[in-house]
Structure 1
Amino acid sequence: MHERNQARTAALIQQEIEQASRLRDQVIDTFGLREPESFPLVVIPACTLGITRLPEQRRRAFRDHLSDVIGQAAVPPAAPIREPEQVAPAPVAASRAQAALGMACSRCQGFCCEGGGDHAYLKVETIRRYLAEHPDQRPDDVLAAYLDRVGHRTYQGSCIYHQADGCALPREMRSDLCNRHFCKALHEFQRNLPATGPIRAFFVAANYGAIQKAALVHENQMLSVPTI
């Protein structure tokens, strides 16, 4: 059964790539673009969950988790906290690609958020960082700040902050994981960025063999592409 599922997954991925390749070729031909190879094909996952009213049970579960995390963060650690490792500066090409990466994520619409559930990836370290940046706030203030960001509607079963227009939390309140994560396809895209020249790509968000959204990207400009 496991091998059958793996084979089915591989077949669906191949189907997505073939469909995405045909779509990219059609778009490039339509606009008569030169150097089509300068628009690498990047197939990313797509969130296909529906928007629903947030159940009160989920709201209570999140409040319980958040209260516990804040309580732990407010207690001075028994041992000195190790300074977080310094992250090496991003290569120049990678930093230039931030606009393109943001546009790619807008096509996906938060597939990576689906695992956030009723904890939103918030950990003790997240709250300690927030407290360090807001020394005037007491635990009750922190609790209120995070709860105030919880909306009435969210993607079904996804992170409690995953809303139709994106994450309800500003970056300073998100976990390190949320701020740094990129899917495998976008990691590969960054590794293959040219040292010089414009940042270009054809991003396709797909799910189980079906293309959901697509976009042609040049630097900080994006052209949404119909997928039907």
Structure 2
Amino acid sequence: MEDKNNTGPDPRDFVGLHGGTIAKQLVPDLIGSHMAVSVLARSSHSTTLKFLYAGEICVVKHFPVDNPKARASYLRERDALRVHAPSGLVPNLEFFSDEAGFLAVEHIDGENVRDVIDRKSLDHMCFAIGEWLGDFAKAAPFKQVTGNWDRYLHHYRKLHNSFSVRSSSDFLRAFTYDKVVLSKNDGALSNLMVARDGKLFGIDFENSQFKPVGWDLLLSARALVRLFPSETNLCISELANGFCKATGANTEQYRTFLHVAAVGAAFEIGSGTTEKPALTALRTYNEKSDAPAQVVGHAPFLPKRLQEPAPEKVLALFQHLEGLDLGSVPLEEAQPTANEGTPPAEFEALCRGCQGNCCTLAVGQKAFIDAKTAKRAALHINEEAAVEVALNYISYLPEKHVQGSCLFHGPDGCALPRQMRSDICTKYACHAAREMLNRIDTHNPDGVLCLAGEGVDFQHAAHVQNGKISAVPLEMVTREQNHA
């Protein structure tokens, strides 16, 4: 028996006890043929095996019967496979044994999504994943409930405490659902299989639970954004397109939801950064440069794909601005606070390189402009009427904005003067920026290296010294063999 993974329960005893039963189920009338068994995966709860007998193949997943957690996982997986069998979205459940705690399912001839997805196939794969998740949700058993996403995300403290979720509570409160469905409850891309004909199948349902429609979509979006942070907008857009094609749901609403709950949380908690490549880049830079750096910051990178603003979105923005009650804001509250002003050069350099991932959080949020922000803008332009302030804001809209981002997010960054931006926009610092600024405070460096990109695939580099930002050629931060 081939076993490349030596963690978890030893499968040899299981094969010795139940191999004959499995062989008889595969080929009932044959006796004595050679059986080949290989271990596909092992964890603390289960072992997944591939059985080949007389040309017949099946995948068997065994859960130790004396482990209560493993038993619960077995029952969840068994029930999920049984109820989803008619959909054709999961492998067929060939046979199972409650007494022995194993399931035998159809072998899918293909590869898992995590191993095959790349930038060339990303748009197609994200759409296909979204469509599969939508079909899966439609086919799932459901329970009628009443809820909203703000209340539901309270159950996940780290996620709910992320800046993007907290700042979008009004949207999440208004985004309601009326049922929960039996969900996969697992965003791992390795647990989606692509068959040779391109069809998707879900595998591994031991975490299956009833969740609001869209929960599986959120988990998959977070996994994809963390894997391809520089393609955030593409991932979100195509996932939502596929999901809403299958379910008939509102695409724009789900795009906003994923930007808030999936993208924001991914960058807030995981920040899209990888410390080891950044430190390697810092050492490489110091080996090649006459102006060394002692601290490095590493942010995601957002490609600037531009599009013209949709007229209905511009109208909705104007109506929102025109309806703000400027008179409700006392004059002293509209004044700039003492800590407002030009951000540190290091912060500016990191943001320039990133190109505005945080701006995507403003999708559907009207640039976070509230009455206080508009009153401050009114003082800046010396106007009193809300309609004049609204028209002034609209005049700053760029001809084209970054796809999947704020309407004011133009090719050169935010098109608004700093005095007209919301407090959220002027004061926000992502996880990557906070980490960098904390290291600057701790080490008081002479120079700081600011990087943007995914892993070792840097797209932008800059050096900051004495408040001056200097561009750094990418070959200065990349080892020759990687750069080549």
Q: Which interval holds the TM-score relative to the shorter structure?
A: 0.7 to 0.9
Matched residue, 1:123: 370
Matched residue, 1:30: 288
Q: What is the one-letter code of the residue matched to 2:287?
A: D
What fraction of aligned residue pairs are identical, expressed as a percent? 22
C-alpha deviation, 1:105, in angstroms:
1.1
| Count of aligned pairs | 216
1:154-197 Cα shifts (integer Å, max 9, x gaps):
10020000011111100011001111111122222222325796
Q: Does 1:142 align with 2:397?
A: no
Q: Does 1:100 align with 2:346?
A: yes
Q: What is the one-letter code of the residue matched to 1:30?
A: K
**Counterparts of 2:443 and 2:283, CA distance in 1:** 24
Contact 2:347 2:433 in 1 (8 A): yes
Map residues 60-209 of structure 1 onto 2, 5 A cutoff.
60-69=315-324, 72-74=325-327, 76=328, 83=333, 98-118=344-364, 119-134=366-381, 136-194=383-441, 199-207=446-454
Match of 1:214, SS state, is: strand
Q: What is the one-letter code of the residue matched to 1:28?
A: N
C-alpha deviation, 1:207, in angstroms:
3.9
Matched residue, 2:123: none
Match of 1:222, SS state, is: strand
C-alpha deviation, 1:7, in angstroms:
8.0
Shifted more, 186-195 versus 211-220: the winner is 186-195
**Counterparts of 1:45 and 1:180, CA distance in 2:** 19
TM-score (norm 2): 0.39
Kindly report structure 1 stretches of 4+ aligned residues shifted beyond 6 Å: 3-8, 12-15, 84-88
**Counterparts of 2:406 and 2:188, CA distance in 1:** 30
**Counterparts of 1:67 and 1:81, CA distance in 2:** 19
Q: Does 1:223 align with 2:471?
A: yes
Contact 1:100 1:199 in 2 (8 A): no
Contact 2:307 2:401 in 1 (8 A): yes
1:132-155 Cα shifts (integer Å, max 9, x gaps):
455543222211110100121010
Structure 1's 190 and 21: CA in aligned 2 closer, same or farther, altered over 3 A? closer
Q: Which runs of 5+ in 2 are unaligned?
A: 1-185, 190-218, 230-269, 476-482
Structure 1's 87 and 195: CA in aligned 2 closer, same or farther, altered over 3 A? farther
C-alpha deviation, 1:123, in angstroms:
1.0
Q: Which runs of 5+ in 1 are unaligned?
A: none
TM-score (norm 1): 0.76
Shifted more, 41-50 versus 1-10: the winner is 1-10
**Counterparts of 1:3 and 1:96, CA distance in 2:** 41
Shifted more, 101-110 versus 202-211: the winner is 202-211
Q: Pick from 303, 307, 310: which aligns with 1:55?
A: 310
**Counterparts of 2:273 and 2:314, CA distance in 1:** 39
**Counterparts of 1:51 and 1:73, CA distance in 2:** 33
**Counterparts of 2:403 and 2:383, CA distance in 1:** 35
Match of 1:204, SS state, is: strand
Match of 1:120, SS state, is: helix
Pair member with larger Rg: 2
C-alpha deviation, 1:213, in angstroms:
1.6
C-alpha deviation, 1:206, in angstroms:
2.2
Shifted more, 46-55 versus 131-140: the winner is 131-140
1:43-80 Cα shifts (integer Å, max 9, x gaps):
112222411222223222222222233xx234x47xx7
Q: What is the one-letter code of the residue matched to 2:281?
A: L
C-alpha deviation, 1:218, in angstroms:
1.8
Match of 1:112, SS state, is: helix
Higher RCO structure (Cα 8 Å, ≥6 apart): 1
Q: What is the one-letter code of the residue matched to 1:127?
A: A
**Counterparts of 1:183 and 1:29, CA distance in 2:** 29
**Counterparts of 2:438 and 2:393, CA distance in 1:** 35
Contact 2:273 2:300 in 1 (8 A): no
Match of 1:104, SS state, is: helix
**Counterparts of 2:415 and 2:316, CA distance in 1:** 18
**Counterparts of 2:223 and 2:307, CA distance in 1:** 33
Match of 1:102, SS state, is: helix
